[in-house]
Amino acid sequence: MKKHVFAFCCIASLPAVAGTMGEIAQPMPWFVSIGTGYSWTDKSGIVNPDPGFWDNASQGYDGDLSDEGFYSFAIGKQVHPYIDLSVSYFNNEDMDYQIFQTGASGTPGFTGSVRNRFFTLNNKSVLANIILHNNTPYTAPWSLNVMPFISGGIGAGYNKVNNFHTVGIVPLSATNIGSTTSIGNETTRTSFAWQGSVGLNFQPVSSHLSANIGYRYFSGGTFEGPDYVYTNSDGWSYGAPWKGTLTANQLFVEFKYTA
């Protein structure tokens, strides 16, 4: 009889003991997201690398890159009540460079003293990110949870320059061609890329779906122009390649699923 009473007392005490050990920790969730947005691109940052080959111009070489859209994918995991880690892929739409130049050296180049220069830049980047956020969301009207966040990421940007060409506007008197053109080969370069973001996450109560809306400063790395160009007035020629940097201010929305 004493043995049965002792066993009963032990079983009855288990919930009390378990309660002193605290709640069982819930596993941290995984998440995936797909995003899109628009980039307001900064100037290209190009400086004439070789005035002996690339003609000096009154307007310089630091032309604009066109503002374009982009899309992104990300996968990540919460690793701490305040911290998420993710890997993201960014694909920026083709950005166009165009600049009108008038020669500043007094010596007409391959394409004369008045010209337009063009190329197209495409950027793809992969970044590893850290996201900092509150432990618990703020409750908003319409059964929405709102969570502010900040994010930073580093990685690699793959930049491709193609459609590189120059068109002279005033024909050269020494040639029998109506206009002069130079064409450069396609070039690629991989370099350091980074981003910094701030935004808000909106999530319906008890839903796995949410949306991030925010601002990002994006640096897609350094790009490089061709070192060989072909002109219809002078054939193949070699010169130091142009170098520039892709940076942009972005507004984005990301649709997120949390498991």
Maximum Cα interatomic distance, the chain, rounded to a whole number of Å: 120
Helices of type H across the chain: 2-20
Query: What is the residue-level pLDDT of the chain in tens, covering all 259 positions?
Result: 444 544 444 444 444 444 444 556 678 999 999 999 999 999 999 999 988 888 889 899 999 999 999 999 999 999 999 999 999 999 999 999 999 998 776 555 555 678 899 999 999 999 999 999 999 999 888 899 999 999 999 999 999 999 999 988 765 555 555 566 889 999 999 999 999 999 999 999 999 999 999 999 999 999 999 988 888 777 888 889 999 999 999 999 999 999 9
Contact in structure between 116 and 100 (CB atoms under 8 Å):
yes
- Domains contained in the chain, number: 1
Cα–chain center distance at 24: 40
Closest CA to 243 of 90, 119, 110: 119
Q: Give this prediction's pTM.
A: 0.83
Q: What's the angle, vertex CA 130, arms to CA 126 and CA 136, rounded to 5?
A: 135
Please indicate, yes or no, if residue 23 is contained in any of the structural domains.
no
Q: Which residue has the tokens 């069982």?
A: 24
Sign of the alpha-carbon torsion through 105, 111, 113, 116: negative
From residue 37, give the alpha-carbon distance in Å to each of 48, 86, 248, 256. Answer: 32, 19, 12, 15
Please indicate, yes or no, if residue 8 is contained in any of the structural domains.
no
Please indicate, yes or no, if residue 1 is contained in any of the structural domains.
no
> Which residues form the domain of 81?
37-258
